[in-house]
Structure 1
Amino acid sequence: MKKIILLFTLSLFIIGCSKDDSTNELPIVNACASPINLSVNNLTNTTATLNWNASGNAALFQVEYGEFGFSQGNGTQLNVPDEFTNIEDLQPSTQYTFYTRVFCNSTQTYSDWANFSFVTLADNPYCNDPSSFSQEFYPDSVTHNHVDLSWSEGAFDGSQIQYGLQGFTIGSGSIKNVTDNIYPSSTRIENLNAGTAYDFYVRNICENSGYSAWVGPITVTTLNEPANPNCVDPYNFVSQGTGTNTDGSKYFDFSWDHEASQNSWEIAVVPVGTAFNTNIVTATSFQPVRLSYNGVTSGQAYDFYIRSNCGTADGFSDWVGPVTVTAQ
């Protein structure tokens, strides 16, 4: 019996010692210290300078950044030799987090990550916004595959156009840098789809200070694909009024836009409700033009159509219309 009690006592002692040993184990400490004093300066709406300090001798830092709450490994990753780095292409009024760690030469290992969060500005105090952004309004400024744009107060370093289908989200569009001139104020966006509505934005490029805010959108719809590529359809065909001449005939005024090389057109008219036909066609080389007709009844509505005449070699464009006008 005494032997049993002795063995039981020894077992309790051994178990007690095992528990005591586990509670006295020290946590593993990374001998490579993490960067400290994380901060951000030179902050704008799209750029920031990330800063930190390392306590030891180091020549390599890893940085990862993204919008607040991103999972590490899914952000933008950089390897930099200094205790700072400049980042750009951020979104305005957005919260970001950056992580950084150091590679310690003494231990040949990486430290633990340190992190810091910040919010970009809504505007850039160091880069003025462009103004008076619009579609150009001259012949050929809009065709089935290009749009001409203009703006004021461009920057010395140039401007940037972002565009996409109407309603696209900023950041997902196509980008064109306009840097062929200092203080540029216009550009042509090419290779667009016919008969399609696009949104356009512009911002200034300030090389050492990021970008201005995006200005826009303006929405422009390209023309339909011409059936005859050698003779582009006239467009913006509109009525400019109607009235009665002194001889009792009725007149109709029209204007339209066209390719710069075009100088001859045909205009057809049919009563509303009548199928399109070319029984009554007037040729003209004037734009705008006043057309007069006998036998027209006041209060009667008429449909007008127009097409370009590009000569024997290039033929005619499609008929464009109708524009409906009620005779006075």
Structure 2
Amino acid sequence: MKKITLLLAVSLLIFGCSSDDSPNEENQQNSCALPVNLSVQNLTNTTASFNWDVSISSSLYQVEYGTFGFSQGSGITLTVPDTYTSVQNLQPQTQYSFYTRVFCNESQTYSNWAGPFSFVTLDSNPFCEDPTNFTEDVYPDSITHNKIDLYWSSPSSGGSEIQYGVQGFNLGSGTTQIEPDFYDQSASINNLNSETTYDFYVRNVCEDSGFSSWVGPVSITTLNEPSNPNCIDPFNFTSTSSGTNSDGSKYFDFTWDYESSQNSWEIAIVEAGTAFNTSSVTATSFSPVRVSYGGVTSGQAYDFYIRSNCGGTNGFSDWVGPITVTAQ
């Protein structure tokens, strides 16, 4: 009986010492002062700098931030060595909040959280100019069945970002392509689907100053997939004028776009409404071109088709058309 009593007394003594010497986490958190004077500086449309003051010496802090009203524990948490930190990739015109706490050297745990401090990001970035003149590139082969070339002005020293997706996609869910060179004011977007309309956006990257606003969308549709990938179809086949030559024959002026490597084409003419045939084909190495025909009747409508001649084993493209023109 004496042994049992002695063992119980020793156990109580050990438990009591352990409780006195190791305060629980809540007591530890309350053992040092919270950060104060929370503020935001250098605010842009996508970046912000968080600042705060402390009354104790420490070299370790935690910050948690998220959109306004977020539940603590569900935000983004950063551990930093100073009483300030910068965050990026925020959304424009969006309300955010942040909390911060300090590591207490004496108790070897963090203080309670201070905050929230709330703020709203700007609509645009006063320190980062927006790109301008965003459009498809000016070259004839800027659009193919699987590639689109883009162009813009006013690039930034930090380069640019392009985001794209099938028409109607939401910004943030698309594919991002980075153009890091200041001198690059154009980009080729490859591996696209044929006969598909895409939306494109661009923004400048201004290094420590964040990003410009997104500019766009520019909506562009890829071309049909060619049956002969070695000889791409001409596109944007257009009649620009027609009339009568001095000898009474009729002329028709055409223009079209084409792959930069192509330099030879064939144009076929049939009476409008009749089946396509190649009984009257004119070869040309010029675009634009004027084609003249004898025996063509004024007031009669004609259908015109065009195809590329890529030579050798590359063969011909598909016939493209018709476009219908009435002889003058």
TM-score by length of 2: 0.85
Contact 1:157-1:183 at 8 Å conserved across structures: no
Aligned position for 2:252:
252
Greater Cα offset, 154-163 or 101-110: 101-110
Distance, in Å, in 2 between the alignment partners of 1:63 and 1:212 is: 26
Aligned position for 2:117:
116
Contact 1:32-1:109 at 8 Å conserved across structures: no
Distance, in Å, in 2 between the alignment partners of 1:77 and 1:223 is: 46
Aligned position for 1:141:
142
- Give the residue type in structure 2 aligned to 1:50: F
Distance, in Å, in 2 between the alignment partners of 1:97 and 1:301 is: 69
Q: Aligned-pair distance for 1:32?
A: 4.2
Question: 3-state SS of the aligned residue for 1:208?
Answer: helix
Q: Deviations over 1:79-125 (max 9, x none)?
A: 22221111111121111112223332322333332211101111111
Distance, in Å, in 2 between the alignment partners of 1:116 and 1:275 is: 74
Aligned position for 1:322:
322
Distance, in Å, in 2 between the alignment partners of 1:220 and 1:204 is: 21
* Identical pairs, percent: 66
Q: Aligned-pair distance for 1:193?
A: 1.8
Distance, in Å, in 2 between the alignment partners of 1:131 and 1:304 is: 38
Greater Cα offset, 150-159 or 105-114: 105-114
- Give the residue type in structure 2 aligned to 1:147: I
- Give the residue type in structure 2 aligned to 1:150: Y
Aligned position for 1:14:
none
Matches within 5 A, 1:39-58: 39-58=39-58
Q: Deviations over 1:198-254 (max 9, x none)?
A: 222222211121111222222222222211111111111111111122232222111
Q: Aligned-pair distance for 1:287?
A: 0.9
Greater Cα offset, 294-303 or 36-45: 294-303
Q: Aligned-pair distance for 1:279?
A: 2.8
Q: Aligned-pair distance for 1:183?
A: 4.1
Distance, in Å, in 2 between the alignment partners of 1:234 and 1:69 is: 56
Contact 1:44-1:120 at 8 Å conserved across structures: yes
Distance, in Å, in 2 between the alignment partners of 1:224 and 1:170 is: 27
Distance, in Å, in 1 between the alignment partners of 2:69 and 2:299 is: 67
Q: Deviations over 1:235-284 (max 9, x none)?
A: 11111111122232222111011111111111122233223332322221
Greater Cα offset, 201-210 or 307-316: 201-210
CA RMSD, aligned part only?
2.0
Q: Aligned-pair distance for 1:77?
A: 2.5
Question: 3-state SS of the aligned residue for 2:246?
Answer: coil
Distance, in Å, in 1 between the alignment partners of 2:126 and 2:294 is: 65
Question: 3-state SS of the aligned residue for 2:60?
Answer: strand
Question: 3-state SS of the aligned residue for 1:313?
Answer: helix
Greater Cα offset, 107-116 or 261-270: 107-116
Aligned position for 2:5:
none
Aligned position for 1:302:
302
- Give the residue type in structure 1 aligned to 2:295: G
Aligned position for 2:38:
38
Distance, in Å, in 2 between the alignment partners of 1:77 and 1:233 is: 54
Distance, in Å, in 2 between the alignment partners of 1:236 and 1:88 is: 43
Distance, in Å, in 2 between the alignment partners of 1:208 and 1:260 is: 40
| Runs of 5+ consecutive residues of structure 2 not aligned to the other structure | 1-25
Greater Cα offset, 167-176 or 260-269: 167-176
Q: Aligned-pair distance for 1:57?
A: 3.4
Matches within 5 A, 1:149-298: 149-180=150-181, 182-298=182-298
4+ residue runs over 4 A deviation: none
- Give the residue type in structure 1 aligned to 2:166: L
Distance, in Å, in 2 between the alignment partners of 1:54 and 1:191 is: 53
Aligned position for 1:126:
127
Greater Cα offset, 67-76 or 43-52: 67-76
Distance, in Å, in 1 between the alignment partners of 2:322 and 2:232 is: 17
- Give the residue type in structure 1 aligned to 2:70: F
Matches within 5 A, 1:70-81: 70-81=70-81
Contact 1:157-1:205 at 8 Å conserved across structures: yes
| Runs of 5+ consecutive residues of structure 1 not aligned to the other structure | 1-26
Distance, in Å, in 2 between the alignment partners of 1:75 and 1:321 is: 57
Greater Cα offset, 109-118 or 82-91: 109-118
Contact 1:155-1:184 at 8 Å conserved across structures: no
Cα pair distance change 1:82/1:284, threshold 3 Å:
same
Q: Deviations over 1:14-68 (max 9, x none)?
A: xxxxxxxxxxxxx978334332211100111111101122333333322222222
Contact 1:130-1:202 at 8 Å conserved across structures: yes
Question: 3-state SS of the aligned residue for 2:59?
Answer: strand
Greater Cα offset, 71-80 or 203-212: 71-80
Distance, in Å, in 2 between the alignment partners of 1:273 and 1:74 is: 67
Question: 3-state SS of the aligned residue for 2:312?
Answer: helix
Distance, in Å, in 1 between the alignment partners of 2:180 and 2:57 is: 42
Greater Cα offset, 151-160 or 83-92: 151-160
Q: Aligned-pair distance for 1:288?
A: 0.8
Greater Cα offset, 137-146 or 87-96: 137-146
